[in-house]
A and B are shown apart, each in its own frame.
Chain A
Amino acid sequence: MEILDCNLSFGATNNGEPYKNCDTFRELLAELDRAGIGGGLVRCAYSDTVGVRYGNDFIARTVLSARAENRRFWGVWAALPPFTGETPSPANLPGVMAKNGIGAVYVDPQTHRYELNSLTMGDFFAVMEDCRIPVLLSTAHNLSMAQIYAIMENFPRLTAVVSDGDCWPNGRRLYPLADRYENLRLDLSYVMDAGGVEDMTARFGAKKLLFGTAFPARYTGSMLAVVRAAAIPDADREKIFGGNLEDMLKEARFS
C-alpha cells in the first residue's frame, strides 16, 4: 500500500510561520521517507509569499524533476482571476497544468488580494468543474466556510477537496457539504476529532476521504496514526491512504 498525502507544502518563509518550517523539497522528501509517505499533492509556499508565477513555476520545476526520479508527486498551483493575464486563461489552464506536472489548484483570495465571485472566478470554476480537475477549498487558505458553500452551490459538480483548518472538531461545518455534493472530497489533514474518520466513513463512504497531513505545519505522524488505527475496514483504509487520491486525479481531464 502506497501512502499519498493530499496536503503537503514547502518553501522558505521569513515570518516565523509555521513554527518549524520545511524550506526545501529535499527536506520534505526526507520527512516523507522517514514517515513512509510515498508522495502526493504538493504546494510551494512561494506562490503565497513571493509571487504566484514565481511559486507556480517553482513547484512545476520541482515536480517534473521529482518525477524524473520516479517520485509520485503532483503539483498544486495557485489560481488567479484571468483578467490580469498572470496565469493561463481558464480555457488553456488544463493543458498547461498537464505539461507542468500540476494535478490540482487552490484559491486564496485573501492572500492574493482579489474578490472571489462569479465575475472574477466563474469561468475558472466552470472549466475546473467540466474537466473534473481538483480544486482545494480550505479555510486554511483563508476561504470562509460561507465562500466554500457558495462555490459549491454555484458549481455543484466541482471536484473539490475541502478542509477546515480550524482546530476544533468541525462536523457541523463539513458534513452538509460532504452529504450534498457527489464529487466533493474531504481532506483529513485537520480532522483530529475522536471517532471522526470512522464517523465520516460510515456516513459518506471512504471514497470521499483523502489522507492528508498539512505538513510542515503539523506532524505527519498524527494523521498517519489516526487512519492506521481507525476502526474501519482495511479496504477503506487503503482507499483513504492513497487510492482515492489516485482515482480522483485519474478522473481529471487535462486536454
Chain B
Amino acid sequence: MINRKSELARAFWETGKLPCKIYDFHAHMDEHAQIYFPFSNVDDMVRDMDANGVEKLFFCGHFALDDPLNGEKYNVSAVKKYPDRLRAYHIIHSRHLDPERELREVDTQPDVYAGFKILGDYNAFPIDDPCHDPYYDYLNQTKKLLLVHTWGGSANNGAENVAHIAERFPEIRIICGHSFYGKQKEGVALTKQYPNVYYELTAIPIVRGYLEDIVNAAGSERILFGTDLPWFSTMHGVGMVLGADVTDDDRLNIFYRNGERLLAAIGQQSAVDSRQL
C-alpha cells in the first residue's frame, strides 16, 4: 500500500507502475571499480527506464567521471544510441581543465549534452574556485544545467561553495545532487536565498523526514527526482516520494512537472559562437 492517504500510491500499489512519467536528473552508467552492479550498460539502463516509467534520464557515465582523459566519448555514444531518452552532463575535471575544447564539445552537441557536472570532493578541489569560471560563464549565458555533487559539511562541494556560484552566476540552474546529505538544513536555507538552486533526491530516501522538511521549507517546486542509477533503484526513490508526508500534487511536481518546467525554461539555445572557442 505504501500510503493509504495517497491516490498516487494506491494506483502504484495496484499495478506496480507509477501512473505518471518520471524525469531522472541524476544518473550514471557502466561499471565502477568499487561496486558490483546487477546491470549498468546503456541498453540495460534504458530497459530499466522503460520498466519504471522513466521518460528521460540525465547522466554522466562512470568512465567519464573517473577517466579524465578518455571517458567522455562513452557519454556521447550512449546518448547517440538513445537520443530521445538520454542526455549527458559533460564532466568538469578540476585537475584536467580544457575549457576551450570542452565548451566546444558541449556547445556543438546540444542533442547530447544538457550541461556540466562537477564533483568537488571526488576531485579534492573546491567547485567555486575561479578556475571553473569559463564553464560557469558559459552555463550562465546558455542557461544549461549544472549538476553538483553536494555533501553536507564539505569544503569542496558544501552549501557555501554552491552559494558562491549561485550568487555570481544567477542564471545557472544549479541542481544540488544528494541535497547536501548530512547537513540538509543548510541546503534548505540556500534554496530560499537563491531561486536558481534546485534539490535532487539521490541519498534522501535513507533519511526519513528530510523530504518533508524540504517541501515545507522551500516548496516542492524546487525538487527534482534523481536516483544515481544504476547505483540505486528508481523504485527506491519512487517509494520514498509516495510514502512521504506530502501531497500528491507535490509528488507530481517532483516526479516530472518540475523537470518539464526546467527543461522548457532552459531550451536548447546556444549563446556561444563556436568559432570563438
Contacts and interface: CB of A to CB of B under 8 A. Distances in A.
B209 A221 contact: no
The 10 closest A-B pairs by CB, nearest first: A221-B243, A225-B239, A36-B1, A20-B209, A195-B38, A199-B38, A221-B239, A171-B36, A222-B239, A225-B235
What size tier do the contact residues of chain A reach? 35 or more
B122 to A, nearest CB: 14
B208 A194 contact: no
Nearest to A167: B206
Interface string B142-177: 000000000000000000000000000000000000
A25 B17 CA distance: 32
A109 interface: no
A207 interface: no
Contacts of A193: 37-38, 230-233
Given A34-B3, A167-B203, A222-B239, 19 more contacts: A20-B210, A35-B4, A36-B1, A168-B231, A193-B232, A194-B229, A194-B231, A194-B234, A195-B230, A197-B233, A219-B239, A219-B244, A221-B3, A222-B205, A225-B238, A228-B13, A229-B16, A229-B235, A229-B238
A221 B233 contact: no
Nearest to A172: B36
A236 to B, nearest CB: 14
Interface stretch (A41-49, A85-93, A149-157, A210-218): A210-218
B1 A35 contact: yes
Interface string A169-195: 101100100000000000000001111
A168 B211 CA distance: 20
Nearest to A165: B206
5 contacts: A18-B208, A35-B1, A194-B231, A196-B233, A222-B237
Given A36-B2, A168-B231, A226-B236, A19 B38 contact: no
B186 interface: no
Nearest to B207: A19
Contact of B38 (A168, A194, A222): A194
A231 B48 CA distance: 10
B206 A217 contact: yes
A93 B37 CA distance: 41
Interface residues of B, number: 45
A198 B17 CA distance: 16
A231 B210 CA distance: 29
A176 B70 CA distance: 34
Nearest to A199: B38
A33 to B, nearest CB: 8
Interface string B20-36: 00000000000000111
A34 B242 CA distance: 12
Given A169-B36, A196-B233, A219-B240, A225 B206 contact: no
B236 A192 contact: yes
B94 interface: no
A232 to B, nearest CB: 11
A229 B18 CA distance: 10
A229 B35 CA distance: 23
Contacts of B5: 34
Between B37, B208, B210, the greatest number of chain A beta carbons within 10 A of the residue's beta carbon is seen for B208
Contacts of A230: 235
B212 to A, nearest CB: 8
